[in-house]
Amino acid sequence: MEVQNSEFSEKIRTLVVDDDDSCLLINATLLKQSKFEVTIVKSVKDALSVLRSSGLSKHLLRSSLL
């Protein structure tokens, strides 16, 4: 399933957080195929660092539930 975001003038910035390499790869690949700008990290600490350094300028956060 491909999600279209063509109605947006800029890429949707996403942050994917998961400690599982396979889940990171799958989620990042799916989002990139749908033209999202993807940043991946493996921990909450790293996610907070990315958010702080980017001025909290992400549109979407995808995180592992466990």
Are 62 and 20 a contacting pair, CB within 8 Å? no
CATH number at residue 43: 3.40.50
Instruction: Pull the structure tokens for residue 36.
Output: 């999202």
- Whether 43 is in a domain gets the answer yes
- Whether 2 is in a domain gets the answer no
- pTM higher than the cut 0.75: no
pLDDT digits (tens, 9 = 90+) for 7-19: 555 778 888 888 9
pLDDT digits (tens, 9 = 90+) for 17-62: 889 999 899 999 999 998 888 999 999 899 889 888 877 666 666 6
Question: What is the pLDDT at residue 14?
Answer: 86
Question: What separation in angstroms does the CA of 29 have from each of 24, 25, 45, 48, 62?
Answer: 8, 6, 23, 22, 13
Q: What is the DSSP string of 5-49?
A: -TTSSSPPEEEEE-S-HHHHHHHHHHHHHTT-EEEEESSHHHHHH
- Which residues form the domain of 34? 13-63
Number of structural domains (the chain) is 1
- Whether 6 is in a domain gets the answer no
